[in-house]
Amino acid sequence: MASKLTFLSILFFVVLTLTKGETVNQKNSSAFEFIKNLQGCCHKGSNVQGLHELKLYLARFGYLNYEPAHYQPNANSPSQTFDDELESALKRYQSFYHLNATGTLDGPTISRMVMPRCGHPDIKDHQQMHSKSLHTVPQFQFPQDSPYKWPINKTNLTYAFGFNYLDAYVPPVVRAFDTWSAASGYFTFYRIDNITSADIKISFERGDHGDGATFDGPYGVLAHAFYPTDGRMHYDADETWSVGPGPVDNAIDLQSVSLHEIGHLLGLDHSEDENAIMWSSIPSGSLKGLNSDDILGVKALYGLK
């Protein structure tokens, strides 16, 4: 009887913790922590353990064309070499984030790289090759004549949550949709129960969840969403999430991240404006909302005044 009561007490504690809007997660180190180990120990031409993972990071976010299947990541392989391509990729990364484009792993670059962020690439292949085709005024981004937007007759969008989505996590996402609706003056969003028929499908996932964009655990990639008209929006279940109303130490604000991912659902890329919600990263324990860059971006994409 005592054992049964103990089990029920533990179960009640877990459920109570989750309904307060945070995952049970004791790990505080970043999934990108390995990058810190490279500071001061590598330079162009050197072979250093960990450069393979750095190349994967830069490739994942659009800065490097890298095919890891061609390499075995041992100490002397090309995958562990600080080569010209890696230097160029670092310069592109530094330029995007308004850092000094040294092409080296200096302190400010590493500090930026280890921040928790969206899984959406900062730069697409077509952007690297045809950068002049981008709208970048002020600093929002999307490809000119983008196919990634909702049809002109599709301004009323439905959304639904996955079957295992906790009720405590619903209000911040609803508020994020309402915020975008008011700001755009164009889209309206309606919640429905049937996720199969919804335009936008929202769920918590972890690890490899079958969409080709694997989550990596705490304080790495926080979430990702797909361009129109795919409609999938996923949060990493291994993060510690906060439902507000204010900032919570060592937790990621769900409403702020939802605002960002809805921007992708509408067709926006990452902005180079650090104050924009479409900036790629957000520190734990902080809040963020839409700013003029975000609103101008969606209006420009859909040809709105």
Question: Percent of the chain scored above 90 by pLDDT?
Answer: 72
User: Would the pLDDT of 168 be above 90?
Assistant: yes
- CATH 3.40.390.10 applies to domain 125-301: yes
> What is the pLDDT averaged over residues 204-212?
96
Confidence at residue 79, expressed as pLDDT on a 0 to 100 scale: 87
Q: The pTM is what? A: 0.85
pLDDT, tens digit, for every residue of 77-128? 778 999 999 999 999 999 999 999 999 999 999 999 999 999 999 997 544 4
Helix (H, G, I), strand (E, B) or coil at 174: helix
**Of the candidate ranges 2-6, 16-20, 45-49, 94-98, the one whose mean pLDDT is the lowest:** 16-20
Report which of residues 50 and 139 the model is more confident about.
Answer: 50
pLDDT, tens digit, for every residue of 211-235? 999 999 999 999 999 999 999 999 9
Binding residue ranges:
118, 199, 209, 211, 216-217, 224, 234, 236, 239, 260, 264, 270, 278
- Among 289, 234, 295, smallest CA distance to 268 is for 295
Binding residue ranges for Zn(2+):
118, 209, 211, 224, 234, 260, 264, 270, 278
Query: Please, where in the chain does CATH 1.10.101.10 lie?
Result: 33-113
| The token pair that represents 176 in the structure block | 């994020």
Helix (H, G, I), strand (E, B) or coil at 120: coil
Question: Percent of the chain scored above 70 by pLDDT?
Answer: 81
Active site residues: 261
Angle at 213 between CA 210 and CA 216, to 5 degrees: 105
List Cα–Cα distances, 19 to 23, 82, 218, in angstroms.
9, 46, 19
| The token pair that represents 108 in the structure block | 């400010």
Hey, what long-range contacts does 147-153 have (CB within 8 A, 24 or more apart)? 148/227, 148/228, 148/267, 149/228, 149/266, 149/267, 149/301, 149/302, 150/187, 150/228, 150/229, 150/266, 150/267, 151/229
CATH superfamily entry for domain 33-113: PGBD-like superfamily/PGBD (1.10.101.10)
Instruction: Evaluate whether 299 touches 305 at the Cβ level (below 8 Å).
Output: yes
Binding residue ranges for Ca(2+):
199, 216-217, 236, 239
The CA radius of gyration of the chain, in Å to the nearest whole number, is: 20
Q: What is the rounded distance in angstroms from the CA atom of residue 250 to the CA atom of residue 237? A: 15
> What is the pLDDT averaged over residues 68-72?
67
Query: Please, where in the chain does CATH 3.40.390.10 lie?
Result: 125-301
User: Would the pLDDT of 24 be above 50?
Assistant: no
